[in-house]
Structure 1
Amino acid sequence: IMEPPEVARVYMGSFWDEPLEAHELSGLFEREKDDLYSQIQHLPRNATVNKINDLSRRARLVKSHALLLEQLRNSMPSVWGQAQQWEELLKKLPAQYLEVSRRHGVPLGDFPDSEIMRQKLAMSDYTKLPRIDKVKVDKLNVLLSSDIPSLLRLVPQEEAMAAYG
């Protein structure tokens, strides 16, 4: 499931050698220039933090997918009426999100858009839903609760080391 791209910041300024003709904009242009220089100065740190945040977002998405598929799998009858039950589960997918969220403490914001997920699940073979690998989910939990916070704590140290270079 693809997330929409982040909207890029646009900076305003005057980039010619002549003096400004619109003096009322000089304050705005100066502030914009300062913001741009500040952003450029912090690019290495921001890139690292963005990569860690992206890792966290992807791990939460994987976890929500795995737990949702396990919930759907466990809600299916073992013998009769599987096709009808699958259709019913897909119709009530937001209720399944709520159940997974309640049962496992997964924030609703970690789940993909329910309509897109419904469309993708409708094209999949519900008889081949794999069992959840609890060891891998436990590793995801360690990543989210311990490893990622540890990485984020290292960012200021790396920044300080780079400054003393």
Structure 2
Amino acid sequence: QVSSENVAAVIAGLKDLYARKLKPLERLYKFNVFSSPAMTDSDFEAKPMVTLLGQYSTGKTTFISHILGRSYPGAHIGPEPTTDRFVAVMGGSVDKTVPGNTVSVHANTPFGGLKRFGTAFLSKFECAQMSHPLLNDVTFIDTPGVLSDTERSYDFLGVTEWFAAKSDMIFLLFDPHKLDISDELKRVIESLRGNDDKIRVLLNKVDGIDAQQLMRVYGALMWSLGKVVNTPEVMRVYIGSFYDNPQKIILSKDLFDLEKKDLLRELSELPKRSCDRRISEFVKRAHAAKVHAYLIGHLKQQMPILWGKADAQESLVVNLEDEFVKVQSLYHLPKGDLPNIDTFRRVLAVHNIDSFHRLRPSMIQSVDDMLTHDIPKLLSNYAVS
């Protein structure tokens, strides 16, 4: 186990490396405009996040209330869709709710990146604060139930993808009486790709069914998920009835207690595990920023010195696939390391390529030194692997 002091030291070291070596590269080549906003202290220091997803009435809000021993401020529970917003359930000295527009600009929260989804989303986002020991270490994200043919005024899948990337664990909740995976839920699950190791399945509300029924339900659920979740690993499935005063429990109550104990243990281990995730995400970001710098430097180099700049820009944007191939070949990059070309082209089209900077090898070398020397040294000093 890595001590909390060592975790704090590693996070502080990453913040320092980011400020000195990675952030200057990102700023010079507009990585924050094309890809991801600059990291803040809250991105490094935020508590681990657990996001709950599922169709309506699978017990997401009730699960959080059951784990915490009481409902969070503003929670609504019922048989019909009740949660119509994203709610960050966080620790606080007093019970209160904070509107999304306020949360997104608060320096001490990791939700600044949500501003890009606009006020239509922020009006459907809020923070619920309450005092609880578990919330000193973990933040829960409650989400609207997934409904078919639901018109939303914001990019629901984009928001889901954003929270998935930020989360340390993702619970997919299912009701044994409603196992069908709708097209909308399928799209939500597909948006989690790249975060498969974080996914846990929670088969909730299993009180009232016997062992034979449970076997059938479990088999049907795994068969349905197998067609959507593209991972060779078997997902951990928790079984229980995570709400107060369940109906008559036909299955062994010991089973429910053991499952709940395992789940709480995994949640309690998240703070130390999240250190590994932050290191991994930091390294991934550094590689992405390098590739971005290669692309921007290459495009700048293709611009003429005097005349024909407008035509050259138009040609580069239209033939961006060819330029990607050239950069990939020139710097020996795996194809999977290149950014989404449609997103890149859309941003590139509204910028003046001639205003970009040429590639500065010294800055690339600085990031390479950080990846090959500084980070390994930091981790070895604090026995993190």
Q: Give the structure-2-normalised TM-score.
A: 0.36
TM-fit CA distance, 1:73? 1.1
CA distance in structure 1 between the partners assigned to 2:258 and 2:332 by the alignment: 43
Code of the aligned partner of 1:140: V
Aligned twin of 1:104 = 331
Code of the aligned partner of 1:118: R
CA distance in structure 1 between the partners assigned to 2:372 and 2:277 by the alignment: 18
Q: Between the two proteins, what is the percent identity of the paired residues? A: 26
Map 1:74-85 onto structure 2 (within 5 A).
74-85=301-312
Identify the match of residue 48 of structure 1 among 270, 275, 282: 275
Code of the aligned partner of 1:77: P
* Partner secondary structure for residue 23 of structure 1: coil
User: Which gives a bigger RCO, structure 1 or 2 (Cα 8 Å, sep 6+)?
Assistant: 1
Aligned twin of 2:251 = 23
Matched, 1:73 2:235: no
In structure 2, runs of 5+ residues without a counterpart are 1-34, 37-157, 173-201, 205-239
Matched, 1:9 2:171: yes
* Partner secondary structure for residue 339 of structure 2: coil
Please report the RMSD computed on the Cα atoms of aligned residues, expressed in angstroms.
3.1
Map 1:62-141 onto structure 2 (within 5 A).
62-141=289-368
* Partner secondary structure for residue 9 of structure 1: strand
TM-fit CA distance, 1:38? 4.0
- Please list every run of at least 4 consecutive aligned residues from structure 1 whose deviation after the TM superposition is greater than 6 angstroms: none
Code of the aligned partner of 1:75: Q
Code of the aligned partner of 1:129: F
Q: Give the structure-1-normalised TM-score.
A: 0.75
TM-fit CA distance, 1:22? 4.6
CA distance in structure 1 between the partners assigned to 2:257 and 2:381 by the alignment: 33
TM-fit CA distance, 1:23? 2.2
Contact 2:301 2:358 in 1 (8 A): no
Contact 1:49 1:152 in 2 (8 A): no
Aligned twin of 1:39 = 266
CA pair 111-30 structure 1, distance change in 2 beyond 3 A = farther
For this pair of structures, how many residues does the alignment match?
157
Contact 2:298 2:358 in 1 (8 A): no
CA pair 128-24 structure 1, distance change in 2 beyond 3 A = same
TM-fit CA distance, 1:79? 2.5
Where is the helix percentage greater, Structure 1 or Structure 2? 1
Q: Deviations over 1:21-68 (max 9, x none)?
A: 3529985x5675355234224212221111111211221121111110
* Partner secondary structure for residue 285 of structure 2: helix
Where is the strand percentage greater, Structure 1 or Structure 2? 2
Code of the aligned partner of 1:141: D
Contact 1:101 1:108 in 2 (8 A): yes
In structure 1, runs of 5+ residues without a counterpart are 160-165
TM-fit CA distance, 1:153? 5.3
Code of the aligned partner of 1:85: A
CA distance in structure 1 between the partners assigned to 2:254 and 2:322 by the alignment: 54
CA pair 86-64 structure 1, distance change in 2 beyond 3 A = same
Aligned twin of 2:375 = 148
CA distance in structure 1 between the partners assigned to 2:314 and 2:330 by the alignment: 22
Deviates more, 1:95-104 or 1:145-154: 145-154
Code of the aligned partner of 2:286: A
